[in-house]
Chain A
Amino acid sequence: MLIKNIRFFAIILFASLQYLLFIHNAFASDIFKPLHPKKEVAWQFDGVFGKFDRASIRRGYKVYKEVCAACHSLNRIAFRNLTEIGFSTKEAEALAAGYNIIDGPNDIGEMFDRPGALADHFVKPYPNSEAARASNHGALPPDLSLIIKARHDGANYVYSLLTGYKGTEPDSGGLYENPYFITGKLAMTPPLADGIVSYDDKTPQTLSNYAYDVVNFLQWTASPEMEHRKKIGYKVFIVLIVLFIFCVIAKKKVWDDAGK
Chain B
Amino acid sequence: MTSAHGVAVGVAACAKTFPDGTRALEPITLDVARGETLVFLGPSGCGKTTLLRIIAGLEQPDRGGRVLFNGADVTAIPIERRNVGMVFQSYALFPNMTVAENIGYGLKIRGIDRAERAQRVAELVALTGIEGLEQRRIDQLSGGQRQRVALARAVAARPSVLLLDEPLTALDAALRERLRFELDSLLRMLGITTIYVTHDQAEAMALGDRVVVMRKGAIAQVGTPREIYFVPANRFVAEFVGAANLLTARAVNGVLNLTGGKLVTADVNTAGDVVAMVRPESISVVAPEAASLSGQIERISFVGDRQRLTVRGTIERPLLVDAPNTLNLKIGERIGLAIDPHAVRVLPGERP
Chain A partners chain B: no
